Structure 1
Amino acid sequence: MEHPFNKSILMLALIALVSCGEKEKPKEKQIVVVEAKNEIMGSWLLVYGETRTADIVEVKDLSNTEFIKILNEDHFAFFNQKKDTAEGFYGGGGTYALKGNVYTERLDYIGVKELRGHEFTFDIEVKGDTLIQSGIEDVPEAGIKRHIVEKYVRIK
């Protein structure tokens, strides 16, 4: 008959052997690549909108509406809502590319079929918490040919 003490010694010896295996290799240094943060990423509130068609300049009345633009690494979305009502809501979105100060939107989601899939190229500039976007919107199928200037402030 085996003595219970022998089993205990055997178990302790096994645990000791297993724990004496190979030592953990020192971890190799990992190289972490930190990309410069895209300054336009974030949420933006339109504070000024100007449209020039031929020789007519229209400044958007923003007193009763909020226009928000949201940008992540490669997609954008925008929506407009009249204050205190469900009327006048519209929105859109798609992908964008930014090369230097040249910003190109591809509008994939919008209620106006003629605008879907269209690319708009703008100059863009960030000054502190202000984003300024300007350029030509030219979509003959929708009867649009105008120069726009939009100024946004960052929503914190």
Structure 2
Amino acid sequence: MKQIKLSLLGLVFLSSCSLSGDKSRQLKTSVNPLVGTWQLVAGIQITGDDTVMIDYTKGQEMIKMYNDTHFAFLRHDLSQGKDSTAIFVSGGGRYEVKKDKYFEHLNYCNYREWEGQKFELAFTISGDTLTTNSIEKIDAIDLNQINIEKLVRLQ
């Protein structure tokens, strides 16, 4: 009988500890389709009449991460900086989604001329593939190009 009373007391205690009534402690789940980590696999850069196709899986890799309010990207060569392909690029900042577009506010970048820029990107998601299309225009470095990127969601 004592064991039954203790069990009932334990159940009452556990049910009072439930998170269901405490909204501030519940985990939020995002409805933003960009949230997660994506690997850049291919890109096209169009500057004037020149079109360059880039395979980001050969000798380098890049990931882009999104949470509900911020993004970050990291790109590096796979030779650990020991040959002519050495590269490291990183950046990030706030972003906002509006329907099929999102706006990046690049607050941090190892290429400092890019900092403070705002970019508008049209995007589509099909299965685990994210495709973005943007115009990158920075007068200070005479940059004006279309940038199309294909990324796949990492698990």
Fold-level similarity (TM above 0.5): yes
3-state SS of 1:39 partner: coil
Q: Pairwise mapping of residues 89-108 of structure 1 onto structure 2 (< 5 A)?
A: 89-108=88-107
Please give the per-residue CA displacement for 1:88-124, whole angstroms capped at 9, x wherever unaligned. 1111111100010111000011122221111000101
Partner of 2:78: 83
Local SS of the residue matching 1:60: strand
1:74 aligns with 2:58: no
1:54 aligned partner, one-letter code: G
The within-5 A match list for 1:7-156 is 30=21, 37-62=31-56, 63-86=58-81, 87-156=86-155
Greater alpha carbon shift after TM alignment, 98-107 vs 31-40: 31-40
Say how many residue pairs are matched.
130
Give the aligned residue type for 1:139. I
1:55 partner amino acid: D
When normalised by structure 1's length, the TM-score is 0.76
**Partner SS, residue 40 of structure 1:** coil
State the identity %.
Answer: 31
CA RMSD, 1 decimal: 2.1
Shift >4 Å, 4+ stretches:
29-36
- The equivalent residue for 1:14 is none
* Structure 2 runs not aligned, ≥5 long: 1-15
Shift of 1:47: 1.1
Query: What one-letter code is carried by the residue in structure 2 that aligns with 1:57?
Result: T
